[in-house]
């Protein structure tokens, strides 16, 4: 809500409290951002409504290093759809993130992921089935046949925004609409890159824009 003529923003929180702010950066996923922005920026909200998301499940497994004849090298691999496998990627967490290995040097932790855009049925399979298909695909891809000492399956409904052809133009339209409302902007995975580094860069862009365009506190009151 723009708070009257002061040029500041009034944000009504779910718990009934109200914040008054010089600027607002909406960093929530696109469907939520659309809902929050709709009263103030309906055109931007309409664009964000159209951003589609994929759901996925992560299957995290811990192996005893002593059970592995050879540890899988590198940080993992991606599986193209044409390969017709169950998993779409494997991340060798123990190699990729040293803090994972530091938790227990005797364990080799990795995770696989299932669920491409439009394939939500993977998420409805039970944990044991997802673990079994992961182990089958890992065995064929990197020869890993050891039995994990623990497995955790985590489901991420609507976790990954999808970028079809025309996405960048859509994002440009969102930013153009919001530019007419200084002190209001958006950032996050739905805009200029899904990976964590891209999200951080987009957050910095939003912060820079906010510092340049938001009305300084007290001005106009
Ligand atoms: C399973 C999975 C694995 C991934 N692995 C990798 C990887 O290995 N490397 C990599 O670079 N990227 C990875 N990604 C992508 C990356 O993690 C995400 O794209 C990124 O973290 C998204 O950051 P974000 O700030 O846009 O969104 P989020 O971190 O999801 O933040 C959105 C925020 O909005 C808040 N929110 C939601 N609803 C509301 C509401 N109604 N009101 C207020 N706040 C709300 C949430 O609480 C949350 O804090 C992965 C993503 C997934 C789903």
The CATH number assigned to the domain holding 32 equals 3.50.50.60
Same-domain pairing of 145 and 113: yes
Domain count, the chain: 2
Assign residue 148 the CATH number of its domain.
Answer: 3.90.660.20
Q: Could you tell me if 46 and 108 lie in one domain?
A: no
For residue 175, pLDDT over 80 is answered with: yes
Residue at which a domain ends, from 142, 161, 180: 161
Q: Which two tokens stand for residue 166?
A: 């025309």
* Residue 205 counted as domain residue: yes
Question: Atom 53 in ligand 1: which residue has the minimum CA distance?
Answer: 159
Sequence length of the chain is 221
Least trusted range by pLDDT, from 30-44, 49-63, 110-124: 110-124
Ligand 1 binding pocket includes 201 (Cβ within 6 Å): no
Q: How far is the CA of 69 from the centre of ligand 1 (A)?
A: 36
216 vs 212 pLDDT, higher one: 212
* Predicted pLDDT at 220: 43
| pLDDT of the residue at 101 | 86
How far, in Å, CA of 207 to CA of 27, rounded? 11
Who has greater pLDDT, 215 or 218? 215
Residue 156 Cβ inside 6 Å of ligand 1? The answer reads: yes
The CA-based diameter of the chain, rounded to the nearest angstrom, is 71
Residues 82 and 150 in one domain: yes
Query: Is residue 11 exposed (0-12), middle (13-18) or buried (19+ Cβ within 10 Å)?
Result: middle
Indicate if 83 and 136 belong to the same structural domain.
yes
Same domain, 44 and 64: no
Say whether both 128 and 194 belong to one domain.
Answer: no
Residue 3 confidence (pLDDT) above 60:
no
Task: Give the distance (Å) from ligand 1 centre to CA of residue 34.
Answer: 16
102 lines ligand 1 (CB under 6 A): no
Q: Is the pLDDT of residue 221 over 80?
A: no
Best residue among 11, 17, 25, 27 to mutate for probing ligand 1, ranked by most atoms within 8 Å of CB: 27
Answer whether 28 contacts ligand 1 (Cβ < 6 A).
yes
Averaged pLDDT, 23-40 = 96
Separation of CA 15 from chain center: 26
Distance (angstroms) between ligand 1 centre and the Cα of 156 equals 10
If asked whether residues 145 and 169 sit together in one domain, one would say: no
Residue 45 to residues 32, 48, 52, 174, 206: CA-CA distances in angstroms? 9, 5, 13, 8, 17
Residue 198 is part of which domain span?
22-51+162-213
């Amino acid at each position: 809500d723009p708070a009257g003529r002061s040029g500041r923003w009034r944000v009504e929180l779910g718990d009934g409290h109200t914040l008054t702010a010089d600027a607002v950066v909406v960093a929530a996923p696109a469907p939520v951002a659309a809902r929050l922005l709709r009263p103030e920026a309906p055109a931007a909200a309409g664009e964000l409504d159209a951003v589609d998301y994929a759901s996925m499940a992560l299957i995290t497994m811990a192996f005893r290093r002593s059970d592995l004849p050879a540890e899988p090298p590198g940080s993992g691999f991606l599986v193209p759809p044409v390969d017709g496998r169950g998993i779409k990627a494997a991340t060798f967490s123990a190699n990729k993130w040293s803090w994972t290995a530091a938790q227990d040097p005797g364990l080799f932790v990795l995770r696989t992921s299932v669920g491409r855009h439009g394939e939500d049925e993977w998420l409805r399979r039970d944990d044991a089935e997802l673990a079994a298909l992961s182990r089958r695909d890992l065995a064929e891809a990197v020869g890993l046949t050891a039995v994990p000492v623990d497995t955790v399956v985590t489901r991420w409904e609507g976790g990954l925004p999808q970028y079809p052809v025309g996405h960048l133009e859509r994002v440009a339209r969102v930013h153009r609409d919001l530019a007419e409302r200084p002190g209001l902007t958006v950032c996050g995975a739905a805009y200029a890159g899904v990976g964590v580094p891209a999200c951080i860069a987009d957050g910095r862009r939003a912060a820079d824009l906010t510092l340049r365009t938001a009305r300084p506190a007290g001005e106009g009151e």
